[in-house]
Structure 1
Amino acid sequence: MQVGLHALGIGAGAQRPVIDAVAAAAESGGFATLWSGEHVVMVDSASSRYPYSADGRIAVPATADWIDPLVGLSFVAAATTTIGIGTGVLLLPEHNPVLVAKQAATLDSLSGGRLTLGVGVGWSREEFEALGVPFARRAARTEEYVAAMRTVWREDVASFTGEFVRFDSVRVNPKPVRSRTIPIVFGGNSDSALRRVAAHGDGWYGFNLDGVADVAERVGFLEARCREAGRDIAGLRLAVALRDPQVGDLEILADLGVDEVVIVDGPPADPGRAAEWVEGLADRWLPVARAVRGRTPGGPAAASRG
Structure 2
Amino acid sequence: MDAGVAYFPTHDGLGPAELARLVEERGHRWLLWAEHTHIPASRESPWGGREGAPPLPRKYARTYDPFVASAYALAATQNLRVGTGIALVPQRDPIVTAKEVASLDHLSGGRFEFGVGAGWNREEMDNHGVDPRTRMKRMREHVLAMKAIWTHHEASFHGDFVNFDRIWSDPKPLQKPHPPILVGGNGPTVLDRVLEYGDAWMPNHASGVLERIGELRERADRPIEVVVMGPDLEPSLLERYEQAGADRVLFWLPSGRRSVVEAELDRVERVMYELHDVGIG
Q: TM-score, normalised by structure 1?
A: 0.83
Cα contact 2:7–2:34 (8 A) shared by 1: no
User: Hey, what's the Cα distance between the residues in 1 that align with 2:183 and 2:176?
Assistant: 20
Provide the C-alpha distance between the structure 2 equivalents of 1:200 and 1:179, rounded to a whole number of angstroms: 15
Equivalent residue, structure 2, for 1:216: 210
Letter of the structure 2 residue corresponding to residue 23 of structure 1: A
CA distance in 2, matches of 1:249, 1:63: 27
1:199 aligns with 2:196: yes
Is the CA contact 1:239–1:258 (under 8 Å) kept in the aligned structure 2? yes
Distance 1:167 1:244 in 2: 44
Which moves more between the two structures, 242-251 or 102-111? 242-251
Specify the alignment match of 1:304 in structure 2.
none
- Give yes or no for contact 2:109–2:174 (8 Å, CA) kept in 1: yes
Conserved 8 A contact 1:250-1:289? yes
Q: Any unmatched runs of 5+ in structure 1?
A: 299-306
Which structure 2 residues correspond to residues 1-306 of structure 1 after superposition, within 5 A? 1-10=1-10, 12-13=12-13, 15-16=14-15, 19-51=16-48, 55-57=52-54, 59-61=56-58, 64-210=61-207, 214-224=208-218, 226-227=219-220, 231-232=221-222, 235-269=223-257, 271=258, 273=259, 276-277=262-263, 279-288=265-274, 290-291=276-277
Q: Distance in 2 between matches of 1:81 and 1:160?
A: 35
Q: Which structure 2 segments of 5+ residues have no match? A: none
Deviation, 1:290, is 4.6
* Per-residue Cα deviation, 1:229-271 (whole angstroms, up to 9, x for no partner): xx24xx11111124523133333211111111111121432x4
Q: Take 1:242 and 1:166, find their aligned partners in 2: how far apart are those partners?
A: 36
Question: Does the C-alpha gap of structure 1 residues 101 and 279 become closer, same or farther in structure 2, counting only changes over 3 Å?
Answer: same
d(CA) in 1 for partners of 2:112 and 2:134? 27
Across the two proteins, how many residue pairs are aligned to each other? 280
Question: Match for 1:215: what amino acid?
Answer: V
| 1:279–1:185 distance in 2 versus 1, CA, 3 Å | closer
What is the identity percentage for the equivalent residue pairs of Structure 1 and Structure 2?
Answer: 32
Shift of 1:281: 3.6
CA distance in 2, matches of 1:283, 1:148: 39
TM-score (structure 2 length as normaliser): 0.89
Q: Quote the RMSD (CA, aligned, Å).
A: 2.5
Please give the per-residue CA displacement for 1:204-247, whole angstroms capped at 9, x wherever unaligned.
1112425xxx33123234335x25xxx24xx1111112452313
The residue type paired with residue 56 of structure 2 is A
Letter in 1 for 2:213: V
